[in-house]
Structure 1
Amino acid sequence: MLLKKIYEEYKQDVFKYLVTLTYDTSLSEDLVSETFLGALKSLYKFKGECSIKTWLFSIARNKWYEYLRKQKPTISIDDLAYNYLLSENDLDGSLIKKELASKINTLLDNESSRTKDIIFMRIEGYSYFEIGKKYNISEGSARVIDYRTKKKIKDTLMKEGVVYE
């Protein structure tokens, strides 16, 4: 009964989160099912040290990574950075462009170590809450740092004619 209540309350949030990772609603629906199945199997481990939503997002992120590992034997941080920094429209179904990923990493090297770490935590799927907790900043501050850095990188890439809006 408890898991049914959790499912009803959080299924849309988990689905939306997965869509931001996968850009694929059908895959996201499948991963939602796998996420809640994983939650059922590990419910006894949940200690309440984070919110249920954060815990579910963590399971969802891991299910997404499992899926990626099955699809492609190695997923590089460059691939993740490329997918993370560009919107769904920018991807338009093309393969990951290695030069662009390398350029994104070069631009990230110009940022402070904290900012760079925050971006990589987001790339890896950490929530703003988890990032804020690690850096002793508010969730909103983590969100703003992420947004501004992503915008700065996209603007630079647009100025250089690497990506188009």
Structure 2
Amino acid sequence: MGDLHEIYDRYEQDVFKYLMCLCRNVDLSEELTQETFYQAVKSIDRYNGECKMSVWLCQIAKHTYYKYLEKNKKEQRDAVQDHILHTSPETEFIHSEDKIALYRIIHLLEEPYKEVLLLRILGDLSFKEIGEIQMKNENWARVTFYRAKLKLKERSKLGYE
């Protein structure tokens, strides 16, 4: 165990500096340095001495960094997909516009556009549910909602607030 402490004391700064060159982030470099030495301890029996210890450790550091990137890329991809799946255009519209002005414009819309918009936005109902409430079908609800959004855009451009 003493040998492992000596290896860590001797090469920790080299591995850290190498990782800093790769990722340019102090916190991440520290974390990956620890992970590198953890992986090195797990596989110390595979070190055969054909290369310098620092080279072997930097190879482990490089692979540790690549694993981090791959994992992080997958997490970012999953987060983006989750955001796309759970954020609707109407929700983004509400968050990006002044709510009071939006509701004033909606209030001026004629039926059934007003009701469909409110059921979709405030009620968070599916198009199928809106169609059932209106005694129509899902396609009718989608088309009416689309047309209501067009009317909203027209009125907001004309300044009907």
Instruction: Answer yes or no: same fold by TM over 0.5.
Output: no
Q: TM-score, normalised by structure 2?
A: 0.45
Name the structure with the higher helix share. 2
Pair member with larger Rg: 2
What TM-score comes out, normalization by structure 1 length?
Answer: 0.44
